[in-house]
Amino acid sequence: MKGEGTVLFADLFRVSLTVVSQLCSIPTDKEETMSNRKYIDCREYPSQVNCTVTIFADSDAELMEVAVQHAVSVHGHEDTPDLREQLQKTFREERRRAA
């Protein structure tokens, strides 16, 4: 009979398999562990306010939302599909060096 505090071999085996599967999924190559981030840099595009803001994000969707908010609040643009299309074209990928 299984008493309180008693651990069955099956339970230990299940936990061991979980830990091993998690360890096996960890990338070992430094380049695999560093994902390239996206960014948009206002300095690359002349404006009346001479904006020097650069925005970074891990995904296009996140970058788009923040870039649209910035374009509307700082540069006076209207949030339109055309604005979003133009912003998407200006997204760049950050080049990271492995440590």
pLDDT digits (tens, 9 = 90+) for 13-39: 454 444 444 444 444 444 444 568 999
Asked if residue 52 has pLDDT above 80, the reply is yes
Asked if residue 64 has pLDDT above 50, the reply is yes
Q: What pLDDT is stored for residue 36 in this prediction? A: 84
Q: Which amino acid is at 36?
A: N
Q: What pLDDT is stored for residue 33 in this prediction? A: 46
Calculate the alpha carbon distances from 78 to 21, 37, 44, 55, 60 in Å.
48, 26, 20, 19, 20
Confirm if 70 and 87 have CB atoms less than 8 A apart. Answer: no
Q: Could you give the angle at the alpha carbon of 69 between the alpha carbons of 68 and 72, nearest 5°?
A: 80
* pTM metric for this prediction: 0.61
